[in-house]
């Protein structure tokens, strides 16, 4: 699995936070720039589940999601040289592309009227769907980050935030000491925060 760096630096020029990419991301960026087919295969192995899940949820149709998935992977191939790991993680870059293609697909589903003003109104009415796409992109990004945590920590965080269980309920269900649950939750949240900061 591609590692996310936890280090960030301050850009002396403008004071902006600059992401310090992991060695594996720098290598993969170089391979994408060279149009290395093995790099695309690696991305598909690593991220296709996240991307397909997102596209199926936002588009609500498996066949359409698969078609858009192919568009996403083609764009990754064509734009590989533009991926800059110092500006954001590979997962975020992929989700940005997937979100854009999903919104394009949603817009194509709006019937095309004769009056351009009506077209603008219909696209504005689709804004909630686009906002939903943003929320889904964030959910799937977080789901991907959770897969990079140790299994025990990820399980506890899912139970706490997805199932909205208390720490005591988690301890009871897992037959684990409450102190262990608290310690793993703190550790998992700390790792998650570092990975999120690395994407800034």
pLDDT beneath 50: ranges in the chain: 1-17
Residue 24 lies in a domain: yes
Regarding whether 110 and 165 lie in a shared domain, the answer is: no
Determine the Cα–Cα distance for residues 200 and 198; give it in Å rounded to an integer: 6
Regarding whether 191 and 98 lie in a shared domain, the answer is: no
Determine the Cα–Cα distance for residues 182 and 65; give it in Å rounded to an integer: 39
Q: What is the total count of domains within the chain?
A: 2
Q: List helix spans (H) across the chain.
A: 23-33, 37-59, 62-78, 90-108, 116-125, 127-146, 151-161, 167-174, 178-198
Structural contact between residues 200 and 19, judged by C-beta atoms closer than 8 angstroms: yes
Which pLDDT score is estimated for 77?
92
DSSP 5: P
Residue 1 lies in a domain: no
Positive or negative CA dihedral for 185, 187, 193, 199?
Answer: negative
Domain span at 60: 8-148
Residue 3 lies in a domain: no
Residue 2 lies in a domain: no
Give the CATH number, domain containing residue 30: 1.10.1740.10
Regarding whether 73 and 121 lie in a shared domain, the answer is: yes
Regarding whether 35 and 132 lie in a shared domain, the answer is: yes
Regarding whether 185 and 109 lie in a shared domain, the answer is: no
Regarding whether 83 and 65 lie in a shared domain, the answer is: yes
Regarding whether 125 and 95 lie in a shared domain, the answer is: yes
Which pLDDT score is estimated for 2?
40
Give, in degrees to the nearest 5, the angle at Cα 54 between 167 and 79: 125
């Amino acid at each position: 699995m591609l590692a996310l760096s936890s280090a960030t630096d301050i850009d002396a020029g403008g004071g902006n936070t600059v992401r310090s990419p992991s060695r594996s991301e720098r290598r993969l960026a170089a391979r994408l720039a060279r149009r290395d087919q093995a790099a695309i295969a690696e991305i598909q192995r690593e991220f296709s589940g996240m991307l397909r899940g997102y596209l199926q949820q936002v588009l609500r149709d498996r066949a359409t999601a698969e078609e858009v998935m192919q568009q996403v992977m083609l764009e990754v191939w064509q734009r590989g040289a533009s991926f800059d790991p110092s500006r954001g993680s590979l997962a975020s870059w992929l989700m940005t592309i997937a979100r854009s293609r999903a919104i394009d697909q949603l817009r194509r589903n709006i019937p095309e009227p004769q009056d351009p003003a009506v077209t603008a109104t219909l696209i504005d009415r689709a804004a909630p769907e686009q906002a939903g796409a943003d929320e889904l992109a964030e959910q799937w990004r977080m789901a991907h980050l959770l897969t990079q945590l140790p299994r025990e920590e990820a399980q506890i965080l899912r139970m706490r935030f997805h199932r909205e269980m208390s720490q005591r309920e988690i301890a009871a269900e897992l037959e684990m000491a409450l102190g262990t649950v608290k310690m793993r939750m703190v550790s998992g949240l700390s790792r998650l925060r570092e990975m999120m900061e690395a994407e800034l």
